[in-house]
Chain A
């Protein structure tokens, strides 16, 4: 089911949490709402769910205007940040709740409920825990039960608030992949909120970047990474080196191979892997000194200092595969020659 948000604004007192949000989510997508804390992403999710009222604008789910509809009638599935499992009910009863509260005429029989709950628990691979209470589960298990509970009512849209926020790093990794696969199997339109760009890139098919209550950019993960529309998105998605022409970086940049046409902007963002490195003997203008390096798994990150007489020693970060690093046989203090193959320009 598609979701269409038009012109949504929300204020909390004098604080504008959301400002004229327009967003279209096509059917079957898995969308990440990504942004720093306080950017309004959770508020937006709660507005889609109907847990929060908008001041202005409308929420249209599958062509139906749901703006004034109550959360209990919207038919959405919501997975809360801290899961909000009913702690006085067993896992089974938690998942069954949405079915049991249906009006009598559309409520399934106990037999059907039982079957359905067990099927859902099978789906999240936790059927063996059906008679436990939430307090007896691990964080990752609670997360999956919360998801099963939300799916029980066959929601048209699945909304997840920071679904991996409260989990350990290792569990988080597994669950990300699992959620992606689950979405692939169920194909229900889903939106999740996160502040972790890596998580958004890894899980989502579409990423929406929010900042200060408005949308900065929407697109597939690679679009957002390769073509950020502004400096905020560029800096928020992945690491980047910032060069400011107004701070005498002009000449140095020309020496390392990028030419500014001036109309494109005054600030250059360069991804660490867009900096190419050769060993150099002389202290030319396009050189830098290796200050330190770190392992990032298969990649090596180099911390460099520009050999630029005009300038303070703001560090530069470059990345290269481990093999290349070995071949170059670089040591701390070595001078290297740089070439920048690509930069994004912003005003």
Chain B
């Protein structure tokens, strides 16, 4: 352990940091790994490949992907509008973006369920005009995940847009590029890595999300059951090995996906000269 400066307090602060981190995070999380050692490989495969669990993985990951993609598009537009334009009520609008961070997920869950159920305000409208049912379908899960994803995208793209040198745009225009060309060839490549980060954060949060989803999803096996819910169901049946196996699989898959996205981001950053 080498000290950079003569700053006081290294031993107590690092001691407390490591102790607290171990007690609250590392030891509890490690139970997941040790507990899974109690399962044989065959047991594990048997649990994970049951049809209900496979379909829940499919539902969870697909819904999170679609939601992250939709939130990325609209979140980008929102961030653009917030940074570049001024309009009446912009400050309130700006503050409201963070509501999904601040609003407890259970509240979001019952509100979205009430809104989109077939007799609800928006549910009735969508059903009668377009014949689309949202609640108790995978689409409902997507809606709930879009809700919680909004701030992740807006808040990662916004600072990068703010920092973006408009002189680059002016240089582009002076060289004869149209506004659209300036956007696609100059602005977007610079913002893209941040957008990918926002997408990754949304996606990771979406896969694990529970509270805002279970009310609107209807939780119909094979149709609209998400992975976190299956863990809860296994726990309620006192099937600890089952719950552990699903949880570990989910953690591993999301870490792998995040890794892929990080590599993608590295590539994008490299291509836009930000590395």
Contacts and interface: CB of A to CB of B under 8 A. Distances in A.
B183 to A, nearest CB: 37
Interface residues of A, number: 6
B5 to A, nearest CB: 6
Nearest to B8: A70
Interface stretch (A34-42, A45-53, A143-151, A263-271): A45-53
Contacts of A53: 3, 6
B10 to A, nearest CB: 12
Contacts of B6: 50-53, 70-71
Interface string B1-30: 001011000000000000000000000000
B269 to A, nearest CB: 27
Contacts of B3: 53
Interface string A25-63: 000000000000000000000000011110000000000
Contacts of A52: 5-6
Contacts, number: 9
A216 B3 CA distance: 29
A92 to B, nearest CB: 27
Nearest to A70: B6
A185 B43 CA distance: 86
Interface in A49-94: 50-53, 70-71
Contacts of B5: 51-52
Interface string A287-300: 00000000000000
Contacts of A70: 6
Contacts of A50: 6
A50 B5 CA distance: 9
A69 to B, nearest CB: 10
A71 B3 CA distance: 14
A74 to B, nearest CB: 10
A70 B6 CA distance: 7
A51 B8 CA distance: 11
A330 B244 CA distance: 93
A52 B5 CA distance: 6
A101 to B, nearest CB: 14
B186 to A, nearest CB: 34
A53 B3 CA distance: 9
A50 B3 CA distance: 13
A70 B5 CA distance: 11
A340 to B, nearest CB: 51
Contacts of A71: 6
Nearest to B3: A53
A51 B3 CA distance: 11
A265 B6 CA distance: 46
A50 B6 CA distance: 7
A317 B213 CA distance: 79
A50 B8 CA distance: 13
A240 to B, nearest CB: 39
A33 to B, nearest CB: 20
A70 B8 CA distance: 10
A147 to B, nearest CB: 22
A79 B9 CA distance: 24
A287 B6 CA distance: 60
Nearest to A13: B2
Nearest to A50: B6
B9 to A, nearest CB: 12
Contacts of A51: 5-6
A52 B3 CA distance: 9
Interface in B64-99: none
Interface of B: 3, 5-6
9 contacts: A50-B6, A51-B5, A51-B6, A52-B5, A52-B6, A53-B3, A53-B6, A70-B6, A71-B6
Given A52-B5, A70-B6, 6 more contacts: A50-B6, A51-B6, A52-B6, A53-B3, A53-B6, A71-B6
Counting from the closest, the 9 A-B pairs by CB-CB distance are: A71-B6, A51-B6, A50-B6, A70-B6, A51-B5, A52-B5, A53-B6, A52-B6, A53-B3
